[in-house]
Amino acid sequence: MFTLTFPDGAQRQVQPGATPLEVAKEISPSLAKAALAADLDGELVSLVHPIHKDARIRFLTWEDEAGKTVYWHSSAHVLAQAVKELWPAALLDDGPATEAGFFYDIKFPTPIGEEDLTRIEEKMREVLKRKERLVRRELCADEARSFFAARGERFKLELIDAIAARGESISVYEQGAWADLCRGPHLLDTGKIKAVKVLSVAGAYLHGDEKNEQLQRVRAISFPSQAELDQHLFLIEEAKKRDHRKLGRELELFSFHEVGPGFPFWHPNGTVVYDELVRFWRELHREAGYSEIRTPMILSESLWHKSGHWEHYRENMYFTQIDEQDYAVKPMNCPGCCTIFGSQPHSYKELPLKLAELGQVHRHEKSGVLQGLFRVRMFTQDDAHIFCTPPQIEDEIVKVIQLVDWIYSTFGFGYEMELSTRPEEKFIGSLEVWEQAEGALKAALARVGAAYKLNPGDGAFYGPKIDFHIKDCLGRRWQCATIQLDFSMPERFELEYTAEDGSRQRPVMIHRAIFGSFERFIGILIEHFAGNLPTWLAPVQAIVLPITEGQLEAARSVQQELLKAGLRAQLETRSEKIGYKIRAAELRKIPWILVVGAREAEQGLVAVRRHGQGDLGVRPVAELVSELRGLVDGRRLEESVTA
């Protein structure tokens, strides 16, 4: 008999060879129906995987990310089977699950177009109706080669050679008369896949290598119900409306040009948003005890050898020569900060020392991955590096978490946290130091009462880390803030402080960023708010519209009152009908639209319209100015902003 331990600590005895499905059925029929796969001692296995040892077990359902991965991986096999039934001569490369569905890279006899996606989708539904079982079969390398050679799948032969060279087992999954090379695991049968949608087709390269021949990537999504698929498709359409690249053009925030691909050009409106975020960031960091620094953008190549970036990151760096010496444009701010710390002696009495930098960095991203503000070649990191002693780690982590929470709550973002611990093999520093550091991070998370996901072995080689994933109004997750402990950089730069006993000690270095990248964070904000930025962030906070030229001077007086109060206000002077002026202001997503007619001009009033809400009635100018000033000073969110 073997003992299975469940997440809640409960245990159950099972016979050798029992399967997770049998165990689930014994617990409850509903669990057996919902289960898609199982986690057995950290290994993802199918529900018919035999159990031959004591183990920790967790059943995976649609609610688990790993469960979705199995579901979408199996759906990718259905996609490939459908394609092969429609185009028997098509050659299959690879078809993994992704964070938002799945794809398959395929060499079609002749390239397909958007008009063929409906055919593939209909064939997938036909395949699903058969409810075929996915059966795993292990083969030796020669058997696998013969199996796929007989089917003319030459791309699979290359994959088999690579798998065999690594000494790994080779397996295929059969569903009906079709089979695919795959390690699995998979669903028991395709009957669990209820709703599918083929989304797009685009270019790709064999095995993902641009040196290889070009294929086509067919992307799709699947769900356990049509209602869930419909909701997902609705969110896709909503995301298109909120696309920050589209809104960036329409609202004149930023642009991209061929003279600098991947380098954003900030327009006046966008610069206002950028500067407001900088002002917010600086205020909070001054209050939290950080000192701001600036380091050069171009530094000697020798520095990047010293920091380790030359060895691990030079493919993503830009280089130049000055006075016949080699230099690099910085891709990260850490080495410059270490240089400042190491430029003078330090005592334990100075620690923790918090150095913050809004550092502009450059990274050589491939043109194919550039995506508006989300993936650029030049961006500003809101970096900070905390130099502290090991006993200070916990307190400093608590303070950073609290700062992250304050900043994200200002924008209305919820978030999830992940703690990544020491890698199994490649890491720097002693086990004792790692255990102390991980213990400090866990204690800090416990002190703030934070729920978090544990990612064992997923830390960087130089230290454990906490990552923050914010959720926008469409439910999308974005990894922004990070807190990383670093034992490597202080060692490489020989950083020291004088301890209380007079000895020379290495400080612990905490890397942390909250926005992560100003550019990317602004892109997230634009999409989260659909361009309807809260009043304090809006490039133009209010616009004054005279109904006729007869009220122009009264409207100008209202604008001056707003400007004197420090509000960003414009005056509409065009001789257009008031309806036209209002529509134009609405399209610009200006939060406050103030209309001045004859009655308002005579009585010192304005007719107030709020973007997203419409007419709010007539108000005294002074009263409205006070209200807007309160919204801005408190950096408050208004209810209509995310609507």
- Catalytic residues, by residue number, are 334, 363, 381, 383, 385, 465, 511
Rounded to an integer, what distance in angstroms lies between the CA atom of residue 356 and that of residue 386? 8
Q: φ and ψ at 391, to 5 degrees?
A: -65, -15
In this structure, the number of other CB atoms found within 10 A of the CB of residue 599 comes to 12
Copy the structure tokens of residue 250: 């329409």
In 206-287, the DSSP E strands lie at 214-223, 254-255, 265-266
- Judge contact between 197 and 78, C-beta under 8 A: no
Give me the numbers of helices (H) and strands (E) for the chain, helices first please.
Answer: 20, 33
Sort 204 into a burial class: Cβ within 10 Å, 0-12 / 13-18 / 19+: buried
CA distances, 583 to each of 248, 531, 558, 578, 615 (Å): 19, 16, 20, 9, 13
Copy the structure tokens of residue 305: 């050898």
DSSP string for 527-596: HHTTT---TTT-SS-EEEEESSGGGHHHHHHHHHHHHHTT--EEE------HHHHHHHHHHTT-SEEEEE
- Judge contact between 218 and 79, C-beta under 8 A: yes
- Judge contact between 76 and 96, C-beta under 8 A: yes
Rounded to an integer, what distance in angstroms lies between the CA atom of residue 556 and that of residue 570? 9
Asked if residue 185 has a cis previous peptide bond (ω within 30° of 0), the answer is yes
Copy the structure tokens of residue 325: 């010496």
Sort 376 into a burial class: Cβ within 10 Å, 0-12 / 13-18 / 19+: buried
- Judge contact between 528 and 402, C-beta under 8 A: no
Rounded to an integer, what distance in angstroms lies between the CA atom of residue 520 and that of residue 639? 24
- Judge contact between 467 and 482, C-beta under 8 A: yes
Task: Report angle CA 299, 305, 310 to the nearest 5 degrees.
Answer: 90
